[in-house]
Amino acid sequence: MIDLDDLRARPEAYEAAAKNKRLKVSVSGFLKLDTLRKELIAHVEEMRAKKNSVSKRVPDMKGKEKEDALSEMKELGKTLKEREEELARAEDQWKTMQLELPTIPHERVPIGKDETGNKEVKRWGDIPKFAFEPKDHVALGESLDIIDIPRGVKLAGARSYFLKGDGARLHRAVLQLALDHLGAKGWIHFTPPYMASWECLMGTGFFPGAEEQTYAVGTQEHRGERIAPDDLYLIGTSEVSVCSYHKDEVLKEVDLPLRYAGYSPCFRREAGTYGKDTRGLYRIHQFDKVEQVVLCRADEDEALKMFEEIRTNAEEVLQALELPYRVLDICTGDMGKGKVFMQDIETYMPSRKAYGETHSCSYLGDFQSRRLNIKYEDASGKRKFVHTLNNTCIASPRILIPLLEIYQNKDGSVRVPKALQKYMDGKKMIEK
């Protein structure tokens, strides 16, 4: 949700934000509904007051005066019920439309209709050159017996896989590297719930909008009897659980910023991606991720400093792994309704002969905290909504794509990056 007072004060800025973010929401339509709701509230309150006034006088009335008053009350009651029903419908629509309203992008955000409008702002590392024909991660994984996609598909359908032996160990190693990197800086580790309620997914901005991508824990059958739905959803990122940790709480300003590192499996249906990135581990239904979540004061300058910090954390992990990458400023049409500023990190993947997205860093202002009702009390005793940020520190097995492909040898073996060797009992090579 956004600040409605700000929306009413400068609707044109929100109209532009909706247009540039390619959102099908009418700011002017919402404001008309907002006005109608206010008018209905005033009208209903006026009618209630009038009905109560007449009701109080009736006991002292007699004869025709009393009959007329009772008749008036009956008509008032009928009209009041109609207006209350009209107000309830307007209220529901008013609340629903609020969930679709966008934040205003930061002035640095490039305006663009889709990913083609994203702007590269940084590169690190050298693109690898091979003296032999390199294999992709699937061929490497199969020949080394560390990735088994056919058996994963046999068990769980398309976009499923097994990591096996040193593949599983490499997967855990990169995740532990990220956790240790953040832990050394004082970040608080979280193992959060892997399921969350509709309120949490709405609160973090995924609902409405991402229902098709989310696995619902629905109605089940036990011994022939139907069990009611749990109204829970498998999380697509620990951002959902960790950001919701302080839902409906008032924090202390002295405790901010809060730096949280959520580690969890993540589940995504990948609806609408039929035929896209079908080979290998790039676009899959289940993966593990270390997610950075920050809650800070309602200060944009402070929040943007935190943004640099969390993006840098991810870059430092990639640099420790010696993987070449680039940073992109994400344009308006590719960033989503709640984002104020967003950058992606793309790591070079030889099999794609291009950079592929591995990290996403977002600043959302008070968009999430308003929906989750997370506030803090400042030194003057005033309560304000916190600002929130999040960023991937590492996600696997997607990061295994560049790891295996860049560190491969001519004979099909794969070198273990120095940064990961201590997590693999000193192992330096993965080979047959």
Question: Which domains can be identified in the chain, with CATH numbers?
Answer: 4-98 (1.10.287.40), 115-430 (3.30.930.10)
Residue 185's CB is within 10 A of a number of other CB atoms, namely: 12
Q: pLDDT at position 220, please?
A: 61
Task: Determine the pLDDT at residue 75.
Answer: 76
Q: Kindly give the pairing relationship between strand 258-267 and strand 188-190.
A: parallel
pLDDT exceeds cutoff 70 at 227 = no
Element (H, E) at 284: none
Summarize the confidence of residues 161-182 as an average pLDDT.
98
Contact 407, 414 (CB under 8 A): yes
- Adjacent-strand bridge partners of 415: 429
Cross-sheet strand order for the sheet of 383-385: 250-252, 375-377, 383-385
Out of 172-186, 208-222, 227-241, 378-392, least confident range:
208-222
Contacts of 354 (CB under 8 A, 6+ apart): 348
Long-range contacts of 191-194 (CB under 8 A, 24+ apart): 191/262, 191/263, 191/264, 192/235, 192/238, 192/241, 192/242, 192/245, 192/262, 192/264, 193/235, 193/241, 194/234, 194/235, 194/241, 194/264, 194/265, 194/267
pLDDT at 34 over 60: yes
pLDDT at 96 over 70: yes
* Average of per-residue pLDDT values in the chain: 94
pLDDT at residue 229, rounded to an integer: 66
pLDDT at 223: 66
Rounded Cα gap, residues 4 and 1, in angstroms: 8
Q: How confident is the model at residue 52 (pLDDT cuts 50, 70, 90)?
A: confident
Average pLDDT over residues 283-295: 97
* pLDDT value at 50 more than 90: no
Residues 119-148 pLDDT 10s: 999 999 999 999 999 999 999 999 999 999
Active-site positions read: 268, 283, 357, 360, 398
| pLDDT for residue 4 is more than 90 | yes
Q: For a pLDDT cut of 70, what percent of the chain falls above it? A: 96
For residues 241 and 196, the answer to whether their CB atoms sit within 8 Å is yes
Predicted local distance difference test score (pLDDT) of residue 224: 65
User: Is the whole-model pTM more than 0.85?
Assistant: yes
- The 3-class SS string of 1-22 reads CCCHHHHHHCHHHHHHHHHHCC
pLDDT of 219 strictly over 70: no
DSSP string spanning 103-122? PPPPTTSPP-SSGGG-EEEE
Q: What is the pLDDT of residue 80?
A: 85
Average pLDDT, stretch 268-294? 90
pLDDT(69) > 70: no
Cα separation, 28 vs 97, whole angstroms? 11
Local confidence band at 73 (pLDDT 50, 70, 90 cut-offs): confident
Q: What is the enclosing helix (H) or strand (E) of 226?
A: strand 225-227
**CA-only gyration radius of the chain, Å:** 27
Rounded Cα–Cα distance for residues 423 and 175 (Å): 10
Q: Which of helix, strand or coil describes residue 203? A: helix
**Residue 216 burial (CB count, 10 A):** 15
Checking if the pLDDT of 357 tops 70, the result is yes
pLDDT in tens, 290-314: 999 999 999 999 999 999 999 999 9
* 276/226: higher pLDDT: 276
According to the model, what pLDDT value does residue 226 have? 61
pLDDT given for residue 59 in this prediction: 76
For residue 274, pLDDT beyond 60:
yes
C-alpha triplet 128, 133, 139: angle, nearest 5° = 95
Percent of the chain topping pLDDT 90: 84
- Whether residue 103 is predicted with pLDDT greater than 80 in this model: the reply is yes
163 pLDDT more than 60: yes
Dihedral angle, C-alpha 166, 168, 174, 177, nearest 10 °: -90
Residue 228, pLDDT above cutoff 60: no
pLDDT in tens, 380-426: 999 999 999 999 999 999 999 999 999 999 999 999 999 999 999 99
Give the pLDDT confidence score for residue 78 in this predicted structure: 83
With 80 as the cut, is the pLDDT of residue 71 above it? no
